[in-house]
Amino acid sequence: MSFQSDTSDPLVAKAVELREAFDRDAVERDKLGGRPTEQIRLLKESGLPSAQIPTRYGGRGASWLSILRAVREFARTDGSLAHLFGYHHLPLNLVLFRGSDVQRERLLRASAAGNFVWGNSGNAMSKTSSGRRIDNGWLINGKRPFSSGSHIADYIQISFENADGERLTAAVPADRQGIVIEDDWDGIGQRQTGSGTVSFHDLEIGDDELISSPAVPLTPYTSLTSLLQQSVLLNVFVGSAQGALEEGRAYTRTSSRPWIYSGVDKHTDDPWIKRQYGDLYIRTLAATELADKAARSLDAAFNQGPGLTHEERGAAAIDIAAANLYAGEIGLAVSSEIFEVMGARSATTANGFDRFWRNVRTHSLHNPAEYKKRTLGTWLLTGEFPVPAMYR
């Protein structure tokens, strides 16, 4: 059994190659946490960080299907790197969606040329940083939690509130004076995502670094950032389920012992074990197919450009919500149930199989399934598409 990777796609083929490199020390790095410095170097050398940037800015214009399949590949061994690579595209595309022509030309072209990796410190739920006006810009103080990717970023998206309580967003080099990466992330999973606190100490940003304005309303097209986030999440879940199942299968075939009352000499001959693996495989395969369907829907919406309608965006949102829900449930189920068919000796820290469940559990809490189900139920009963907002 193996989940087939479409290596006819050069981007996916490169992701497979990187996954194999990441796998060599994935368990050890998960225990250590911190910064995956060497892995980010390999990622940048591969050219993948600039692959999705439109060709007019020097990128390859890769499809979301390709990008999200790469996310999934990484998650088969390392949910943190899958998260970092996927989330890199959120601030990058914020510039595409809401930046000025000058900003897009400057930032996207520089990012493509340098294979920049983007991070964020713009958590909208925490209004814990503020800015005051100075000549031609702002002076920022405070902090922002859940700053994924900030610890390995070349550029970082930051957010702060002005005196009127409006949230402003800017894109700045991550090494600018006044930005302090606190390295205080201590999640049970996603341990190398750097999703802790970034603090700002008299950080100066220019007006020309602000991305759009609160006064500029979201359109269906410019609101696609939330669907990108949901798409990254669901592919981390699916990849984690695939990885857990693949590693579990290998362990079961080589190390598991039959239960004393099973009546079989080999664990793999136990009808219970066969049925359980069949069930886990079917559910993971279904989640994979839904993930690809959702990615194609995202591509269809994204390719409409600024002319994207509310209905077209809504159709993609429904596909992505359905895939996200199922992927989260399957990611949690497979990464937990796999221990039942591997046996007691599999539950050691040396094996590191628990990283899949911890990663999915940590990441899935960003998006409570209950509210996603209500969104789907509302659409099914009334035909009403979700209003563009965070997480939908």
CA–CA distance, 308 with 43 (Å, rounded to integer)? 32
pLDDT for 1 equals 55
Confidence (pTM): 0.96
Burial of 145 (0-12, 13-18, 19+ CB in 10 A): middle
pLDDT for 123 equals 87
Place of tokens 């269809």: 300
What is the CATH superfamily name and number for domain 221-382? Butyryl-CoA Dehydrogenase, subunit A, domain 3 (1.20.140.10)
Pair 158, 169: CB distance under 8 Å? yes
Q: What is the pLDDT of residues 147-201, one digit of tens each?
A: 999 999 999 999 999 999 999 999 999 999 999 999 999 999 999 999 999 999 9
Pair 216, 98: CB distance under 8 Å? yes
For the chain, percent of residues with pLDDT exceeding 90? 92
CA–CA distance, 86 with 341 (Å, rounded to integer)? 31
User: pLDDT tens digits, the chain, 392 residues: what are they?
Assistant: 568 899 999 999 999 999 999 999 999 999 999 999 999 999 999 999 999 999 999 999 999 999 999 999 999 999 999 999 999 999 999 999 999 999 999 999 999 999 999 999 988 888 999 999 999 999 999 999 999 999 999 999 999 999 999 999 999 999 999 999 999 999 999 999 999 999 999 999 999 999 998 888 999 999 999 999 999 999 999 999 999 999 999 999 999 999 899 999 999 999 999 999 999 999 999 999 999 999 999 999 999 999 999 999 999 999 999 999 999 999 999 999 999 999 999 999 999 999 999 999 998 988 788 999 999 999 999 999 999 888 78
pLDDT for 4 equals 86
CATH code of the domain made up of 119-212 = 2.40.110.10
Up-side HSE of residue 238: CA atoms within 13 Å toward CB?
A: 32
Domains 10-117 and 119-212 share a fold: no
Q: Where does the chain have alpha helices with state H?
A: 10-23, 26-32, 37-46, 64-75, 79-98, 101-103, 109-114, 225-254, 271-302, 310-342, 354-364, 369-382
Q: Where are the domains of the chain?
A: 10-117, 119-212, 221-382
What is the CATH superfamily name and number for domain 10-117? Acyl-CoA dehydrogenase/oxidase, N-terminal domain (1.10.540.10)
Sign for the pseudo-dihedral over CA of 66, 68, 71, 72:
negative
184: which residues sit within 8 A by CB, 6+ positions away?
Answer: 196, 197
* β 155-161/118-121 pair status: parallel
Q: What is the pLDDT of residues 5-54, one digit of tens each?
A: 999 999 999 999 999 999 999 999 999 999 999 999 999 999 999 999 99
pLDDT for 370 equals 92
Q: Which letter does DSSP use for residue 388 in this model?
A: S
Pair 258, 266: CB distance under 8 Å? yes
CA–CA distance, 21 with 74 (Å, rounded to integer)? 10
Task: Provide φ and ψ at 119, rounded to 5°.
Answer: -125, 180
Nearest residue to 43 (alpha-carbon basis) of 79, 9, 19, 60: 19
